[in-house]
Every structure is written in structure tokens, then in C-alpha cells.
Structure 1
Amino acid sequence: MAVQIGAGMQAAVFDFEEAGNFSGAMKEYRDNANLATNLQHEYSLHVSVRHAFDRYERIVKSGVRVPRVRGHVSAGDVVYWKHNLARFPAAKALSGHFYPRDDVDVPLDPESVVKILDDSPSKHCLARTYLGRENGHFTREDFSLRNFPLYLKPIEELGLDVKALASAMGKAFAIMHWGAGVDGDDVEFVLGSSVARPAFKGAIVTGDNQLFIPHYGKSPELYAAFKDGYMDAGQAILKIWGMESKFNMEDFMKEYEEYAEDFLG
């Protein structure tokens, strides 16, 4: 049975678990199918990004994982819906993606940890790595590990390598820009864990880029790690295409910095 774990402007997101294997699905809202930015379009972009990572990741080594998509199912696919429609819940009840760690080695109140991990929505833990913002605010009432915003200061307090994360994001954006020809708008970087191997892995989903990209003025060292990762990966990809003399990565990043100064402050 599918469990709804989220909802966006275009579709509701579901999680399946079958014999220990996890997979997800997006069910498009009826009115969205007629829009230019429908799920068929998003699927095509995702496939382009996935192919680019399959081709360039062994060279770039970003360490970022892109979810593999099995296919796009149209509303007119009678055979698929005949066998699968009943697996989707009729009611839109939110409960829960990604996988919690069995052990918690962060110094937190034990009772609070147990309460959070026992909370159904927290089962599908997905933490968004917001390197572009130092901190945020939470309340007891709305706290959940689902779509958890992990800001820069807490990331540092947890002892995670923020420069490595920034470099990985830079490389990932370069793969999308120069390898897939996708602008990467509304892309998110999240931390999740594997059921078999509870190590953090990166994935790409939708969201607000500027929360993820280190601020060039407020976090110059972190931004430098992002920039170096982006430039190294972009140059490597352009070299494969024989176009390294056609584009200047340094100029490209300077243009971004000018934009950031004007619009981000």
C-alpha cells in the first residue's frame, strides 16, 4: 500500500515498501496535466539530469545521488491503473520519506529522541541542507523530521564537513548546467540514509536554490568551496566536449556573484 509523504504544486508524493525495497511515486493533479510544466516535462528534465550524472559522475566525483525514475505513466494507461490504482490511498493523509538511523549519536534528550523517532511522519526522514542560511526557528508543535530544514550552524554543530557538502553541491550544479543543459532552478539537496547502510547520501529534489548555495559574502570560505567544486567539474565536462576554450568558468562565476550582490544582498 502506498503512503502519501508529501504534496506540491503539481502532484502528491507517495512511498511504497515491498519486501524491504523502497520506491516512490508522484500522482499528478488532474488540472496540472495540461500545463507546460506538467509531470511529463519534469520527467524529461529528470531523465536528462540522471543521464548526465551517469555519464560524468565518475569523472567529477560529486558524491551526489540522483533518484532513478522507472518511467512516466499517463492517465490513459489503462493496464497500469487497473493493477495499481487501489494501492494509492483514497484520503490525502500525510505520513511520512527516506530512512531513519537506528542509532542516534547526537547529544539530545533521550526522551525527546524516542518521541521524535516514534512519530509517524518522522519515519521518512529527509533533511534539507541549507548552507545559504545560518539558522532557522522551530516550534514544538510543527517539529518533524520530514522535510527537516538543516541550516548551516546546526550542520557545523553536528560535525558534518560543510566544505565537502558545498563542493559537492557545486559539482552537482555544474553537471546539471554543462552536462544536462538544465538550469537547476528549484533544485534541492537533501540528506537521507539507506535502509541497508545508514550513511548520509545526497539526492536532488525540488526547492529553492538560494537556501542551499553558500552565501558568497556571509560565508566566503564555504562559498569558495562551492565555487571551486563547480569550476573544476564544469571545466572537466567542457573538456570532454572539446569546448573548454569556448566558456570561461571564472567569468561565469563572477557573473553569478554580481547577481548575488544585486539581488541577494
Structure 2
Amino acid sequence: MATPFKLSDDPSQRDLVGFAVMYTMSFAVIATSELMRRFCGVPSHITRKIIHVGAGLCVLFVISLFDHWQYAIIPHTSFIVVNAAVRRWKILKSMEPPNAKSWGTVYFCISVSSLFFLVCAKTYNDGLKWTVPQYVYLTGIMAMTLGDAFAAIIGERFGKRRHYVPVDQESNATSCKTYEGSAACFVAIFLGTLMVGWICSVDAWADAFVCATVGTFFEAISPWGTDNLTVPFSVCSVMYAVRM
């Protein structure tokens, strides 16, 4: 009997096109951000978030690009290794975190791959369609993608009132959280959930408030890039409990 965890004998033409599109989009986002840093003077804390948002939005295309989930999961899983290498050897300044303790880019890909596997895998067996499992998955990913990015950008630019400042005792580095950043996080997750609901034809107004509340809380208490794990898993868990 076939198992849902076994790779198909051969990828379909659609799967191959999906590979080409996903890797092209991903590397294009990274290359554009690096060029912006080098030639336009865009600071690395902004280019990191451009990559963060670009990579997260690419996730929206996965479900519609591939015929088999086993192949759809490969691009994001492979970037766990790529991002770890970039982070370890500081290959791209545009992706460098503000402190040595953050491995957020790696956590991002771990979250995308593992949540896709846990929530979406079985739905691929009967053909691609927008279903509740994909909705659950995408709410978690969009919460991480938009909430974390706007919390950082608004918090760094306008944040005045700090509510959480974890300190790395070895390097004396901080990872400040501000009320202004948290407010931006709440709004971004709320709107992101509504966007996912519109894509998946789900009435998401109540879900948007729940996702924004849960996601903002975990973003606020998670230092050193760990919000790329806590936010998507917490939001996805809540939506799974509500919708599944």
C-alpha cells in the first residue's frame, strides 16, 4: 500500500516547473536585497526583512505550483542548509542578523518545512485545492512573515517604549521589544490572516483577531530570532484546534 510519505517515482512536469519558479524567485529576492545593500546603501536590518517578507510570500505559490507535496517541500527544506551556511560563514551581509545569537533565517525555513509537512501533506493526495489545512498552515506562515517583519521595522524606526529587553551575557547584545513594534505586529498579522482567508475562501475575521493576539504575544517574548519558531507554531496550533 502506498504511503503518503514516499516520494513519487518521478516528478511531474508541473513539479519541475515548480522547482524552477521557487528557486528563481528565492534567489532573485536574495540577489535584489544584496544589490540594494551594496549599491543603494539600504541597511542590512532592512534588507533582512525584505528577504524575510519575500520568502514568506513565496510560500503562497507552493500549493499552486506543485502536483506532489513530497516535491513541494524540497525547496524550503533545502534552504535550511543554505541559510545555515550563509549564517555560519557570513556569506551575505544582507542576511546577517544584528547579533551573534540569532539564527532566525534558519528557524524560518524550519518552520515553513515542518508546518507544511504536518498540516498540508495528506491533502495533496487527492489533487491540489485550497482547503482548510492549507488555510491553517498559511495563517501561521503569514503571521511569521508579516508580523515579525513589521514589528522589527516599526519598532526600530519608531519604538520608544521598551517592554522586553533580553541581554546576551557573553556579548552584551540586546534584542529590544517595543510597544510600537508589538502594535505593528498585531495589525500586520490581523491583515495577513484576512488575506489568507480571502485566498482560501474562509471567513477569517474572528480568526484574524485570535491569530494577531497569539502571534503578537509570542513575538514579544521571543528573543534572538526564535519568534520565527514560536509565532508560526503557536498561531498554526491555535488555528488547527479551531478549524480541524
Instruction: Return the structure number with greater helix share.
Output: 2
TM-score range, shorter chain: under 0.3
Larger radius of gyration: 1
TM-score (norm 1): 0.26
